[in-house]
């Protein structure tokens, strides 16, 4: 019997560019051509001004640790507790949920506002997740 | 909405609370509904308006055998019932119905006749939160709290005191699930659930239900119970994704719903005799005290730690023991409303002497939604 796997996202037409991006090693965000608002999660209009003229661009992949929990129980399928569930504030402004890798999953190691950089982890040949690690340098 | 035009004339919880393995979820609804009908001295056939959440209005109307001319299936999580009260009051004022029944019940512990929660993998939550290991409310609701603590200078000990003080209230309540006194050390040494929160800072998981009956204020005096009037109401929603809240320093939904209710009621914070703030987890009363405007967020931790919300304190808060100690079937808002009604009737187990105004503030989802109801027993 297969090990229980972590929940796998299923892209929709509006989010496909994001998941194509992570597979290609890019973190893609959207910017409104009318009001310059940068936003996440993906949608084909600006949630600030409602313009449908929006562009996809490659984000820097840099951000900082905004907040987190270290989950002990119950653990999600595919996760070994304790593991941190983090919210990363990207340099471009939007925040996204992720996990912090290459870092002890402890309150001492996980300092709020620590600089982070994106890392990509393939779940299969279709889906690659954007994770984050402590920024080097 | 105009003040004091609609009143609660029936209010009851399920006959039992806690672990109820001999009743399905819809039967828990019915048990609460029949108790509320009896409380109001009515027959089910008197009900012409009906609201409920999770279970559909058609499901419960069929099961109860009622034929409503107004229904509301607003289902935005645990504060759905605050929104039902607000919508019902508007509907009664508009003449769409005369006598509204609102039911909640959940087989949260025994899971009998309750559909499991499911997050579709192509939903926004399924794509952008589930893959990172969120798994039920304890792994999601506390996600903002470390940022809140850092911004506002709140300590772990202060967050532990929320649970300690609410247990003091629960000790006075024979129907509370947990009544034994606890200390800050007990809280901080209890089992880790999702850092920074430990077991005693997370809500209980129980079975139960509750129901309310509302009618116009001019009819309310003909009912057997002391009428409890609706003085002010507010509601809002923000996002189903906790990661996408505008800020973790406060709740936008709270900051919209709460002040709306205060404005409609025409009261100031000094007028509040009794306060309920839905406490699925220990940080919620701190968000609520700040977002509803009782004090700056920075002062909320100290305010509770100093004993201002405990029995005998100047702002009695969560006087049934709250979701942390009284009961929590999954959508606790109904029990907060029930306690506000008991306090306004003057029959609460831990009655606040001479309480005339009660503020009841609810949350839905993980800060996804909010509803605030302000009650009074004076017209």
Inspect the interface and report whether the beta carbons of A98 and B132 lie closer than 8 Å: yes
> Could you tell me if B173 and B349 are in contact, meaning their C-beta atoms sit under 8 angstroms apart?
yes
Distance separating alpha carbons of residues B126 and B138, to the nearest angstrom: 17
CA distance A116 to chain B (A): 16
Distance separating alpha carbons of residues B125 and B71, to the nearest angstrom: 29
Distance separating alpha carbons of residues A129 and A6, to the nearest angstrom: 11
Q: Tens digit of pLDDT for each residue in A85-137?
A: 999 999 999 999 999 999 999 999 999 999 999 999 999 999 999 999 999 86
Q: What domains appear along chain A, each with residue ranges and CATH number? A: 16-134 (2.40.50.840)
Distance separating alpha carbons of residues B299 and B316, to the nearest angstrom: 16
Choosing among A11, A43, A67, which should be mutated to test the B contact, i.e. which has the most B CBs within 10 A?
Answer: A67
Inspect the interface and report whether the beta carbons of A70 and B195 lie closer than 8 Å: yes
Residues pairing with B49 in the sheet = B70, B100
Distance separating alpha carbons of residues B82 and A88, to the nearest angstrom: 33
Six-digit token pair at B97?
């119905």
Contacts of B150 in chain A (CB under 8 A): 112
Inspect the interface and report whether the beta carbons of A76 and B124 lie closer than 8 Å: no
pLDDT band at B21 (very low <50, low <70, confident <90, very high): very high
pLDDT surpassing 70 at residue B368 = yes
The DSSP secondary structure of B41-75, one letter per residue, reads T--GGG--EEEESSS-HHHHHHHHT---SEEE---
Q: Tens digit of pLDDT for each residue in A19-78?
A: 999 999 999 999 999 999 999 999 999 999 999 999 999 999 999 999 999 999 889 999
Six-digit token pair at B168?
């003091």
pLDDT at B43: 97
Q: Tens digit of pLDDT for each residue in B326-351?
A: 999 999 999 999 999 999 999 999 99
> Could you tell me if B274 and B352 are in contact, meaning their C-beta atoms sit under 8 angstroms apart?
yes
pLDDT at A13: 98
pLDDT at A2: 58
pLDDT at B116: 84
Residue B131 touches chain A, beta carbons under 8 Å: yes
Cβ atoms within 10 Å, residue B150: 15
Six-digit token pair at B121?
């993998």
pLDDT surpassing 70 at residue B176 = yes
pLDDT at A137: 65
B5-19: average pLDDT: 97
Which among A78, A79, A97 is the nearest to B243, CB-wise? Answer: A97
* Averaged pLDDT of chain B: 97
Exposure class string for B245-281: b at 16+ Cβ within 10 A, else e: beebbbbbbbbbbbebbbebbebeeeebbbbbbbbbb
pLDDT at B213: 98
pLDDT at B379: 87
Residue B118 touches chain A, beta carbons under 8 Å: no
Inspect the interface and report whether the beta carbons of A72 and B194 lie closer than 8 Å: yes
pLDDT surpassing 90 at residue B206 = yes
Give just the sign of the alpha carbon dihedral B270, B274, B277, B283: positive
Q: What is the chain B residue with the closest CA to A110?
A: B146
pLDDT band at B8 (very low <50, low <70, confident <90, very high): very high
pLDDT surpassing 70 at residue B363 = yes
Residue A16 touches chain B, beta carbons under 8 Å: no
Q: Tens digit of pLDDT for each residue in B44-53?
A: 999 999 999 9
B84-108: average pLDDT: 97
pTM of the complete model: 0.97
pLDDT at B160: 98
Q: Supply the DSSP symbol for B363.
A: E
Q: What are phi and psi of A133, to 5 degrees?
A: -130, 160
Residue with tokens 């009819």: B219
Residue with tokens 């905004």: A66
Contacting residues for A66 by C-beta, under 8 A, at least 6 apart = A86, A87, A88, A89, A95, A112, A113, B147, B248
């Amino acid at each position: 019997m297969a090990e229980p796997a972590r929940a796998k996202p299923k892209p929709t037409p509006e989010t496909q560019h994001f998941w194509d991006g992570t597979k290609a090693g890019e973190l893609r965000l959207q910017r409104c051509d009318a009001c310059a608002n940068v936003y996440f999660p993906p949608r084909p209009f600006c949630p600030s001004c409602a313009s449908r003229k929006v562009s996809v661009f490659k984000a820097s992949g840099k951000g900082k640790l905004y907040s987190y929990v270290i989950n002990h129980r119950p653990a999600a399928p595919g996760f070994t507790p304790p593991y941190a569930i983090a919210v990363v504030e990207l340099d471009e402004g939007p925040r996204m949920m992720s996990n912090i890798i290459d870092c002890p999953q402890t309150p001492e190691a996980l300092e709020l506002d620590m600089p982070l950089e994106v890392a990509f982890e393939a779940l299969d040949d279709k889906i690659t997740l954007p994770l984050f690690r402590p920024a080097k340098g | 909405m105009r003040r004091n035009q609609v009143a609660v004339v029936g209010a009851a919880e399920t006959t039992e609370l806690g672990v109820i393995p001999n009743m399905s979820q819809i039967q828990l609804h019915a048990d609460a509904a029949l108790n509320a009908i009896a409380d109001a001295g009515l027959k089910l056939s008197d009900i012409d308006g009906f609201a409920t959440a999770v279970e559909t209005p058609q499901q419960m109307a069929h099961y109860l055998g009622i034929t409503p001319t107004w229904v509301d299936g607003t289902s935005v999580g645990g504060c759905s019932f605050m929104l039902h009260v607000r919508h019902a009051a508007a509907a009664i004022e508009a003449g769409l119905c005369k006598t509204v029944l609102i039911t909640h019940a959940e087989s949260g512990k025994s899971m009998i006749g309750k559909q499991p929660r499911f997050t579709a993998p192509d939903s926004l939550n399924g794509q952008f939160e589930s893959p990172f290991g969120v798994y039920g409310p304890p792994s999601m609701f506390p996600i903002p709290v470390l940022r809140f603590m850092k911004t506002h200078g709140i300590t772990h000990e202060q967050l532990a005191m929320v649970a300690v003080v609410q247990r003091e209230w629960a000790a006075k309540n024979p129907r509370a699930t947990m009544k034994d006194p606890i200390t800050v050390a007990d809280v901080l040494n209890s089992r880790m659930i999702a850092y920074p929160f430990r077991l005693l800072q997370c809500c209980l998981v129980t079975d139960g239900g509750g129901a309310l009956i509302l009618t116009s204020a001019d009819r309310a005096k003909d009912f057997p119970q002391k009428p409890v009037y609706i003085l002010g109401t507010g509601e809002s929603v923000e996002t189903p994704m906790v990661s996408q809240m505008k800020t973790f320093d406060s709740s936008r939904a709270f900051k919209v719903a709460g002040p709306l209710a205060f404005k409609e009621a025409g009261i100031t914070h000094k007028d509040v005799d009794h306060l309920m703030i839905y406490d699925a987890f220990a940080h919620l009363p701190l968000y609520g005290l700040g977002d509803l405007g009782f004090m700056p967020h920075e002062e909320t931790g100290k305010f509770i730690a100093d004993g201002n919300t405990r029995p005998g304190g100047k702002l009695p808060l969560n006087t049934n023991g709250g979701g942390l100690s009284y009961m929590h079937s999954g959508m606790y808002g109904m029990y907060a409303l029930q306690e506000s009604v008991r306090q306004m009737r003057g029959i609460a187990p831990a009655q606040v002497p001479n309480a005339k105004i009660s503020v009841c503030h609810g949350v839905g989802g993980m800060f996804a939604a909010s509803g605030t109801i302000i009650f009074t027993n004076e017209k």
